[in-house]
Amino acid sequence: MKKSLVSIGLVTTLVGTLLVGCSTDKGAEVTASPKSSEAAASASAKPDDKSPIKITWFVDQESYKKNWDPVNNLLDKKITEETGVSIEFTSGNDDKLSALIASGDIPDMITVDKGAPQRGVLEKSGLVAPLDELIKKHDPSFNVAKSMQDWFRNPDGHFYGYANYFWAKETFKPGDTIYSNQGLYARKDIMDQLGIKPEDFSTKEGLVTALKKVKDSKTKYNGFDVTPAYFESWVISSFFGAPREDAQGNLLDRERTPESLEAYQFLNRLYREGLLPEDSQTLNTSQLTEKVNNGAVFALTNKAIKWDALYAKDPKAIFVSVGPVLGDKGKQPVIDPVAASGWTLTMVSSKAKNQDRIIKLMHYLSSDEMSLNVTYGPKGITWDYDANGKVKLSDEFIKARSEDAAKTKLKYGNGTLDWLINYVPVQRTLPVNGVQETERTKSNIYFSKYTYDMLAFESTSPLGGTEEAGINAKREEVRVKTRAKMILAKAPEDVEKLYKEGIEQEEKLGSQKLVDYQNKKFQEAKKALGVQFVWPTNIKK
């Protein structure tokens, strides 16, 4: 359900709101007395009024389908019993959202992509109420992270929505970090079968040798030929250390760095040697996921590709973290984390009849323990804490999920209501029981050491409808085509030629104007955050 968080940029308006929030004291800042423990915070989030009410909630994600079922769905049952609230969900695309706004009659709650232009319309139109005012009036103990308030603060001084998957640094504890959906993963069963070691993936030659073993062995799995690799160029360039900020603090276009050219040359080599298929440039996420779950892929760089179905059929078919592969210069890999500023914003209608109950519901659903319940299902049934404070999944839940993941969601509600989730406590307590969970936890820890604070970079996407946005769209079209041509080139010398031709095409589109615009927004964001540099190699230790 969740989008790949690495691909969602923050539109221009967000920087403006950040600047207002950080440079002035305008507007109400929501604060609350610190709780003595996370448990106390979770307990305080339970509403006192549990009388039955129904609220309406629109989610601007067409693929999201949820019918509230407190009889058969244990998470829905828990929420209704503890809050008295039942929810009538509707969903749709941007057109449906725009139609709702135009009608002037929106549901009690509304969830939109943080970068959607409709978000600004909602905030300016008066259709949604300032969240800070609602909290101050109805639930002062609802402590929204200051960094979230500041990042999404409107020029009028208010903030209007709660962001899910927002990584508030002020809430971090020792050991907390932002994870990444980028990495390098390989099938352990095939590695063991062919004598391939994890360290083989740390150099170009070692990686090529490992992939050739898969190709030359003509490995099959359940009748499918196993493809050695499906790699993304931007991940490989990140492994090679492609920078996004120069020594003077200016924004760099990672695509136009020597490390990116090296990545394209390396991927072209893999293609020419039969290790990277032609369809690596055409398959969408669903198609690649299907191949992975059929057991037909040995190595990949996209952690967002879920291999649950493969593991359910064969517990030995585990993807483990390997590498990362280094470039010729041996630079430290620096990979993108998930978006620190989150994914969606959930807002409250200014006409909602039960605003007091809605605010308390939002407090409840965003609490640490409810974030875990939303992820795994109800505590005490699907999970509990172990002696070290980590999540331990129940055998019942693990078995049910391995047999039928979709049916499990209908029964336990896991992964069906993450619009207010705080993922920091989820990341902090990741499960350590079950082979699949253990490997995922290991991969989060393994690759998180290569991530960086990406918040300032999330402010550089141009606002839709502007000249810069048009240039950006056309530039991306050029890059998609050029990327495929470079990777699938018949001769190695063609790669650099195509790379230079791509730059020339972008310049004709007026790309310099876009570059200047993005650097301006980047500098504004850094100023608002109170930092001069954000790239790891530029930051003085």
CA–CA dist 372, 486 (Å, integer): 44
Together in a domain, 14 and 144? yes
Q: Which amino acid is at 521?
A: K
pLDDT of 44 over the 50 cut: no
Is 300 contained in some domain?
Answer: yes
CATH number of the domain that 316 lies in? Answer: 3.40.190.10
Give yes or no: residues 82 and 134 share one domain. yes
Do residues 220 and 332 make contact, with C-beta atoms less than 8 angstroms apart? Answer: no
User: pLDDT class for 14, splitting at 50, 70, 90?
Assistant: very low
- Pair 408, 401: CB distance under 8 Å: yes
What is the rounded CA–CA span in Å between residue 488 and residue 479?
14
Among residues 258, 287, 321, which one ends one of the domains? 321
Q: Does some domain include residue 539?
A: no
pLDDT tens string 348-368: 999 999 999 999 999 999 999
| Portion of the chain with pLDDT greater than 70, in percent | 91
- Give yes or no for a contact between 495 and 489, defined as CB atoms under 8 angstroms apart: yes
Contact 197, 331 (CB under 8 A): no
**Structural domain harbouring 477:** 460-532
Out of 108-122, 151-165, 312-326, 437-451, pick the least confident: 437-451
The reply to whether 537 falls in a domain is no
What does the pLDDT average to over 68-91? 98
Write down the residue that tokens 């790379």 correspond to.
Answer: 499
Mean of pLDDT values over 64-70: 97
What is the mean pLDDT of the segment spanning 142-150?
95
Phi, psi dihedral angles at 271 (to 5 degrees): -65, -50
User: Hey, which residues does 392 pair with through a beta bridge?
Assistant: 384
64 and 161 co-located in one domain: yes
Task: Mark which of 286, 321, 356 sits at the end of a domain.
Answer: 321
Interval 112-145: pLDDT, tens: 999 888 999 999 999 999 999 999 999 999 999 9
β-bridge mates for residue 15, sequence order: none
DSSP state letter for 331? P
pLDDT for res 45: 64
- For residues 293 and 310, the answer to whether their CB atoms sit within 8 Å is yes
Asked if residue 139 belongs to a domain, the reply is: yes
Could you tell me if 494 and 411 lie in one domain? no
- Poorest-confidence range of 3-17, 72-86, 169-183? 3-17
107 and 201 together in one domain: no
pLDDT tier at 425, thresholds 50, 70, 90? very high
Would you say residue 214 has pLDDT above 60?
yes
- Helices and strands, number each (H, E), in the chain: 22, 13
| 222-276 confidence digits (pLDDT tens) | 999 999 999 999 999 999 999 999 999 999 999 999 999 999 999 999 999 999 9
93 in the same domain as 159: yes
464: confidence class by pLDDT, cuts 50, 70, 90: confident
d(CA 163, CA 145): 10
Give me the helices (H) in 162-203, please.
188-194
- Contact call for residues 482 and 502 (beta carbons, < 8 A): yes
DSSP H helical segments within 163-305, as ranges? Answer: 188-194, 204-216, 233-239, 258-272, 285-293
pLDDT (mean) for 195-213: 98
Looking at 253, 287, 321, the residue that finishes a domain is 321
Residue 274 and residue 249 share a domain: yes
Is there a contact between 153 and 27 (Cβ–Cβ < 8 Å)? yes
Closest CA relative to residue 151, chosen from 341, 11, 2:
341
Q: How many structural domains is the chain composed of?
A: 3
Query: Quick one: which of 428, 429, 426, 437 has its CA closest to 397?
Result: 437
The CA distance from 342 to 380, in Å, is: 29
Q: Assess whether 257 and 130 both reside in one domain.
A: no
Sign of the four-CA dihedral 16, 18, 22, 24: positive
Work out the pLDDT band at 437, boundaries 50, 70, 90: confident
Confidence of residue 404 (pLDDT cuts 50, 70, 90): confident
Q: Which residues contact 370 (CB under 8 A, 6 or more apart)?
A: 42, 45, 364
Give the pLDDT score at 465: 76
- pLDDT at 473 exceeding the cut of 60: yes
38's tokens: 């996370």
Asked whether residue 27 carries a pLDDT value surpassing 60, the answer given is no
161-172: b (≥16 Cβ within 10 Å) or e: bbbbbbbbeebe
Is pLDDT above 90 for 312? no
Separation of first and last alpha carbons in the chain: 39
- On the question of pLDDT at 26 being above 60, the answer is no
Q: Is the pLDDT of residue 91 over 60?
A: yes
CA distance 60 to 417: 14
Q: At residue 391, does pLDDT exceed 90?
A: yes
